[in-house]
Amino acid sequence: MQPVDYTTLVAICDSLNNNYIPSRLEQVYQIDRYTISLCLRSLHQKAWLTISWHPQAARICIGNPPPRGKDTFTFSEQLRHLINGYALIGVKIVTDWERVVDFQWAKRPNEAPLHHLYVEIMGKYSNVILTSADNQIITVAKQITSNKSSLRTVETSQFYQLPPALTGEIPKLLESMEKWREKVSLIPGRIDKQLIKTYQGVSPIIAQYLLNQSAILAIKSNQELTQEEWEKLYKNWQSWLQVIENKTFNFSKTTQGYTVLAETNNNQDLHKILNDYYNQQIYQENFNQLKQQLQQKIKNILTKLIIKRDKYQNKLNDSDKCEMYSNKADLLMAYLHKWKAGMKEIILNDFTTNKPIKISLAPDKNMIQNAQNLYKQNQKLKRAKLVVKPLLEEVKSEVNYLQQISTILSQLDYQETEDLITLQEIKAELISQKYIEDSQYRGNNNVEESHPRKYQTPSGYEVLIGRNNRQNDILTSRTATDYDLWFHAQEISGAHVLLRLNAGDIPDDQDLQFTANLTAYYSQGRESDQVPVIFTKPSYVYKPKGAKPGMVIYTRETVIWGKPSFR
C-alpha cells in the first residue's frame, strides 16, 4: 500500500489551507479504531475531513460522510467535548521535511489557537494528539507508554514533543550539484536506496519518480551513473524541490496508486484520489481478513458437526438392527431346554430361514436372563431410534446450511465495495444464528446493504443472483413474481437465481440455458463439467417454518443441465 509521503502531505495541507481555512467544526465521528471524521463547514462548502492513523493507511483527506451507526469511541467523545464548534484557523506542517501536521483550533477565526490537533503520519507509528495552547496533551488516539517505547512516550498530561528527528540530510534548492552528488555517491549502492537513505523526504515513490524521469534504472549503482545521468537526475531533483517550494502539484491516479507530480494538470481532485485509493485498499484488506476468519470458523464448526452427524448415523444404523435382538431372544426362549450352565454361546436355527445363528451368552446367567437382556437391548435401540432420528435431521440441516455458506465464501472475491458489504452481512447472519459470538453485535444496523448480481440473457431478460443468504431470501420471498422462474443447483448448495419475466413472456431455450449455466457457476458444482439445475415457479418454492436463512424446499421442478465453464 502506498504511504502518504512528505510531498503528498505538503499538497494536502496546501489544498486544505486554500479551501477550508477558516471553517467551523460541526461534528466529530470516529469510524473505527484508526479513523475519525470531522465535519467542516466553511463559507462556501461543507465537507468531512478524514484523519486516519491506520498502520498501513495513515492519511489526511476530504472523504465520505461517516455511517449513521452509534459512535462509542472515547477519543471522538473527548474531541466533541473539547473542540466541537471551534474554528479551524490553520493547517501547518510543524517542521520542514517532517510528517507532522498541526491543525489549529480557536473560538473564532481571528483569535489565537486554544487547541492543537497534531496528526503524525508515520506508518505504524502514526498518531493523533490533542493538546492545549501550551502543548499539554489532553487526549490521544494511541497512548504510548514507557512499556511500548523507550524513545518517546505520548500520554495525557504530558507536554507534547515532536517525534525523534529523522536521519539524513535536508534537501535544499540552493545545494550545488557537486555537493549533492558527493552525498548521494558517498556510500556505494543502488541509486534509489542511496537517495532514500541520504535525504529526508525521499520516499520509494519519489525515488522511483526521479529515476523514471531521468531514464535511469533503480537497480543501477550510484557508482555506475554517467555524468549525463547525474545531470539529468539533479535537474529532476531540482524540479521536484521547486514543485514543493511553489506548491505547483498535479494530481493523478497511477497503475500502482497515485501521484502529486503528474506531468500535466488533469483537473483531478487530490482528495477524491486519496479517498478512493485508501478506501479500496482498506476494504480489500478487511475483506481478505474477514473472509479468512469466516472460512476458518465455518470449517471448524463443520468438522465438529460432521463428526456428530456420523455418530448419530451410526447409532441409527445400530437401531435398525433392533429386531435382530428380539429374534435372538425369541430363539432362546424357544430352546430353554438346550441351555447348560456356563455356556458362553449357543447355535440355534432361525425360525424363518432355518439357518444356524450364533448367539453370545453371559455365562453367569441362565437362558431366560440372557433372553431378557436381549429384549432390553431391543427396547433400548427402539427408543434410541425415536430420539436419534430428529437429532440426525437437525445436524444434517445445519451441515447443509453451513456448506451453503462455505460455498458462498469460496466464490466471493473482492472486486468492489459491494463484496465487503456482502461478507459483513454473512458475518451478521452467523452471529444472529449463534455460530459466532460478538458482544458488540446489535442487529443489522448497517445502513449499506449489498445487492444481487445482475446479468442479461441473450433475449434481454434480467437475471438476478443472490450473493448471500439474505439476498437469497429476498429474491425468493419478496422480489420474485408469479411470472418469474426460480433456479437452483439440484441437491447441492448454491445461489438462488431469478429469471425476471413479464406477463405472457415465454423464454427461449437459450435464455433457460444461459440462466442454468449461471446457476451452475454460482453453485458448489462450479468445477464440474455439468451440473443438474432445477427451475420452477417461485410460488412452488417454500421456506419451512424455522428454517435457516437461504434454506427452502421446492416442488414441480424441471431439470436442465447447466455448464459452469460457459464463462
pLDDT digits (tens, 9 = 90+) for 164-177: 888 889 999 999 99
Average pLDDT over residues 347-375: 88
Cα→Cα distances 341→88, 249, 337, 345, Å: 103, 106, 11, 11
CA distance 398 to 392: 10
The residues that bridge with 169 in the sheet, in sequence order, are 199
Distance from C-alpha of 434 to C-alpha of 425, rounded to nearest angstrom: 14
Average confidence (pLDDT) over 79-103: 95
CA-wise closest residue to 497 among 470, 467, 530: 467
Q: What does pTM read for this prediction?
A: 0.77
Query: According to the model, what pLDDT value does residue 149 have?
Result: 81
pLDDT at residue 441, rounded to an integer: 52
Going by the DSSP 8-state scheme, the letter that residue 416 receives in this structure is: S
What is the Cα Rg of the chain in Å? Answer: 36
- For residue 263, is pLDDT > 50? yes
Tell me which amino acid residue 300 is: N
pLDDT of the residue at 122: 92
Going by the DSSP 8-state scheme, the letter that residue 247 receives in this structure is T
Predicted local confidence at residue 566, as pLDDT: 66
Phi, psi for residue 139 in degrees, rounded to 5: -150, 155
Of 377, 385, 380, the C-alpha closest to 316 is 385
Whether 440 shows a pLDDT value over 60: the answer reads no
Write out pLDDT tens, residues 547-563: 899 999 999 999 999 99
Q: Average pLDDT for residues 391-416, to the nearest whole number?
A: 91
Looking at the chain, the whole-number percentage of residues with pLDDT higher than 90 is 75
CA distance 135 to 146: 20
Grid cell locating 536: 420452477
Q: Domains in the chain, please, with CATH?
A: 6-166 (2.30.310.10), 177-259 (1.10.8.50), 316-400 (no CATH), 453-566 (no CATH)
Residue 268 has pLDDT above 90, yes or no: no
Distances (CA, A) of 370 to 95, 355, 367, 413, 433: 95, 21, 5, 63, 48
Dist. CA 127–CA 152, nearest whole Å: 13
Gap between the Cα atoms of 95 and 81, Å rounded: 29
User: Rounded mean pLDDT of 85-114?
Assistant: 95
Q: Are strands 87-93 and 23-32 parallel, antiparallel or unpaired?
A: antiparallel
352-366: b or e for each residue (b if 16 or more CB lie within 10 Å)? eeeeeeebebeeeeb
Q: Three cell numbers at 134?
A: 501550551
What share of residues in the chain are helix, strand, coil (percent, to 5)?
Answer: 40, 20, 40
Is residue 439 predicted with pLDDT exceeding 50? yes
Does position 445 have pLDDT exceeding 70, yes or no? no
